[in-house]
């Protein structure tokens, strides 16, 4: 089974002409998992070889805008590209991320003043960003202009897929569910319900109540998802607001069959080989039972990809064990080593700090990303530029001397394969 990682945005703070805001896609056969969704992610998707309709899971590391402002538009685009055939099987998009705190207006929301107050609070409540200006919406009335008043609720789009936001809050993680299509309806807009639920606030018309995922204290991680192929866990990071990293672990694959031994036992190649490979015992006509453990070589270890959100360090020792032996460790390096104090003050890392994590968990390959926009990609670097992104790679390599860990600088649209282990 093929697996690769494509970087859609490798810059910090905001998208620029040379680096998009944070976003990357882990692609396996048949589906794509999106990690963070900064502003402009869907445009980056369109420029890549990836298909937005293949996205089945979205993981948001934290609630700063450069990691999530692209999500609403992307979800609407996925909806538009989804068939509205009521006979089609409902698919879903799982969305995992930190808990969004409820809005707490300081005055009566029924009044215009109260509504403006609540609107101004939104940036701080959702992303903890303190804007340096006031936003005063104004409406034009009179006979010279015609206008229509839009409801204050978010557009109320009737999305054609299921959305499962799973929200992490210190010791728990929550999610919601939205159907992928509109049952028997071609309407694209519906009004959001006004009522509030105790835990989640107003639900989208296609949204279903979710569940709470608690912290596993023994491993200091959250079990987000597990199926026959993968297990995905989240772990906590130090940042200015709650931030998380993700570990995607492929299950071990069965070892090769000892075909010569099977022939000696009297079992010819055929469907029974598949049963043994799947872990099922096989009984011969003589009554002898062949156990898979007898005829299978050692299991082939699964691949592991670890993607860390914004951080200055990892919380606890558990995550280091979780990330141990990662084939790919994706770690931010916002600023160079010479600006370590500034990086830490803002909850970010330097190449040397990222290298320390890679060494601690014995990663095979360290990929640096989330660079300050001052660092242009190597292809756009000009002689004499003060901020040389290649210097960040050198700083990480210096910290990893004699470790055997490969260092890669991520650039927008870079695709890195994660090969099968042999």
Catalytic residues: 66
Q: What's the token pair of residue 177?
A: 């569910």
- Token pair 């700083």 is found at 395
Tokens of 40: 């402009």
Could you tell me if 296 and 259 are in contact, meaning their C-beta atoms sit under 8 angstroms apart?
no
In whole angstroms, what separates CA 409 from the centre of its chain?
Answer: 19
Tell me how far apart the alpha carbons of residues 33 and 3 are, in angstroms, rounded to a whole number: 11
Which residues are CB-neighbours of 22 under 8 A, at least 6 positions away? 9, 10, 11, 12, 36, 38, 61, 66, 67, 369, 370
The two structure tokens encoding residue 373: 């926009």
What are the beta bridge partners of residue 98?
168
Q: Is the separation of the CB atoms in 32 and 9 below 8 Å?
A: no
């Amino acid at each position: 089974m093929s697996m690769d990682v494509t970087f859609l945005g490798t810059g910090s703070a905001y998208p620029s002409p040379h680096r998009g805001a944070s976003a990357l896609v882990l692609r396996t056969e048949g589906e794509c998992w999106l990690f963070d969704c900064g502003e402009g992610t869907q445009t980056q998707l369109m420029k890549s070889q990836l298909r937005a309709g293949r996205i089945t899971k979205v993981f948001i590391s934290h609630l700063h805008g450069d990691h999530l402002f692209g999500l609403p538009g992307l979800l609407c685009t996925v909806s538009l590209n989804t068939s509205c055939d009521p006979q089609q099987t409902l698919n879903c998009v799982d969305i995992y991320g930190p808990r969004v705190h409820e809005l707490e207006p300081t005055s009566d929301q029924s009044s215009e003043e109260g509504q403006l107050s609540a609107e101004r609070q939104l940036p701080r409540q959702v992303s903890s960003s303190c804007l340096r200006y006031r936003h005063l919406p104004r409406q034009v009335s009179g006979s010279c202009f015609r206008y229509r008043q839009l409801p204050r609720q978010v557009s109320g789009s009737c999305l054609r897929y299921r959305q499962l936001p799973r929200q992490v809050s210190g010791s728990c993680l929550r999610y919601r569910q939205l159907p992928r299509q509109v049952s028997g309806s071609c309407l694209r807009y519906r009004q959001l319900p006004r009522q509030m639920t105790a835990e989640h606030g107003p639900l989208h018309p296609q949204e279903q109540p979710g569940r709470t995922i608690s912290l596993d204290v023994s491993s200091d991680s959250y079990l987000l998802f597990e199926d026959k192929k993968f297990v995905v866990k989240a772990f906590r990071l130090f940042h200015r607001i709650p931030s998380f990293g993700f570990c995607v672990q492929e299950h071990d694959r069965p070892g090769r069959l000892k075909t010569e031994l099977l022939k000696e036992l009297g079992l010819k190649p055929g469907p029974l080989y598949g049963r043994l490979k799947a872990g099922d015992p096989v009984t011969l006509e003589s009554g002898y039972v062949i156990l898979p453990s007898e005829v299978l070589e050692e299991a082939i270890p699964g691949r592991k990809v670890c993607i860390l959100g914004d951080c200055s360090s990892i919380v606890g020792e558990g995550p280091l064990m979780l990330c141990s032996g990662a084939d790919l460790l994706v770690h931010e390096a916002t600023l160079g080593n010479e600006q370590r104090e500034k990086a830490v003050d803002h909850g970010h890392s330097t190449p040397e700090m990222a290298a320390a994590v890679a060494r601690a968990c014995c990663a095979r390959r360290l990929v640096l990303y989330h660079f300050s926009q001052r660092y242009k990609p190597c292809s756009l670097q000009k002689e004499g530029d003060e901020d040389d992104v290649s210097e960040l790679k050198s700083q990480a390599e210096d910290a990893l001397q004699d470790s055997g860990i490969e260092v890669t600088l991520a650039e927008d649209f870079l695709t890195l394969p994660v090969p099968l282990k042999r």
